[in-house]
A = this chain, B = another copy of it.
Amino acid sequence: MIDAYRNTSKKAGMPPGSLIHVADFNEEDTRISVIDYGLIDVEEPSVETVEDLLKFREKDSITWVCLEGLKNVEITELIGKYFDIHPLVLEDILNTHQRPKFEEYDDYLYIVLKGLSLGEEDVASSEFSVDYEQISILVFNDFVFTFKEWKDELFLPLIQRIRTSTGRIRSLGSDYLTYAILDSIVDQNFVLLDSMDERIDEIEAELLSDPTSNTLVSIQHLKRELINIRRSTSPQRELLSAILRSDHDLISEKTHIYFRDVFDHVLRISESVDSYRDMLAGLLDIYVSSVSNKMNEVMKILTVFASIFIPLTFIAGIYGMNFEYMPELRWKWSYPLLWVVFITLPVVLVTYFKKKKWL
């Protein structure tokens, strides 16, 4: 199953712009948290209703509104109403099957992408799994909205930085904040790739020591995860190059270089994913070869046993015949002589096989 993208069919046939939250799991209540900062002050007011946000519009300071959980559709609807957001954008925010993209509107920018994180329950077991979360970012002049599917600590380090730092982040505008948010999301992928790297190393070690059919299942599992990761990360390249090409007023010349930095990270991630794909293909080749090799080994045992004992059994069979006129049966040395044959023949055969490199 391609988690992050299927089941949109639920909406097929509905009017565009119908605000219905389409998601498969993790339905959580929406939590609104706000951080409002300028060069001097940082404020973190607690906000209950969307209307509470309106007062920050008059202020010069940057206001970052972070919504976690998309269940309460009316909150998004209200934000849409107060901040005059296009219905299609609202629809995209709520439908968590969007392709990463960047859209410019007159007063605001809309960015949507996937945040990838290691699946929690699987950190313990050795199986690798990935959770996909859709994150939407709305960038206004001094307002930034982020819509996340779940409550987690993804933005915590960034929030800490805003609280404590007095440097760049506090002096620059909403575009720099947008950059910082994107950077947090994108850099999380490196954690993922490191974990995948380790898993690949494990599988390789397993392959060289003792490959089982489980190893194959693991390779295929990883391959599938990689296909999904690729689907989520590769459109990020377009997304960022679209941001870089944009000449929207909301993106100042000065922050361009920062977005270029994220772009470089995205390129590196995308190249890593391609490398991992090649490596997994290589692992599959090793697996198939090692299965063949094992079969070869087994065949060789069979061949040694069969090739040595079948002729001997035949010889024994000859003298088990009940003919009346078999002079050898009466000779005194026949039996000891035959033992000599029983011992030398295998030696000769094995030596011959070894010489011929068949064994």
Contact = CB atoms under 8 A, between A and B. Distances in A.
Given A17-B168, A197-B6, A278-B227, A257 B86 contact: yes
A166 to B, nearest CB: 12
Contact of A6 (B17, B92, B193, B228): B193
A317 B313 CA distance: 6
Interface residues of A, number: 119
A295 B298 contact: no
Contacts of A279: 224, 227
Nearest to A280: B282
Given A193-B6, A223-B282, A335-B323, A358 B298 contact: yes
B321 A157 contact: no
A2 to B, nearest CB: 6
A75 interface: no
Interface string A247-273: 000000000011011001101100110
Copies of this subunit: 5
A306 B302 CA distance: 7
A151 interface: no
A220 B286 contact: yes
Contacts of A302: 299, 302-303, 306-307
B194 A88 contact: no
A15 B166 CA distance: 12
A212 to B, nearest CB: 9
A295 B325 CA distance: 44
16 contacts: A1-B197, A2-B197, A11-B187, A12-B188, A16-B258, A88-B257, A98-B264, A213-B289, A216-B286, A220-B285, A288-B289, A295-B299, A298-B299, A309-B311, A322-B326, A323-B338
Interface of A: 1-2, 5-9, 11-17, 86-88, 92, 97-99, 101, 103, 157-158, 161, 165, 167-169, 179-180, 183-184, 187-188, 190-191, 193-194, 197, 201, 208, 210, 213, 216-217, 220, 223-224, 227-228, 231, 257-258, 260-261, 264-265, 267-268, 271-272, 275, 278-279, 282, 284-303, 305-307, 309-314, 316-326, 328-332, 334-335, 338, 342, 353, 357-358
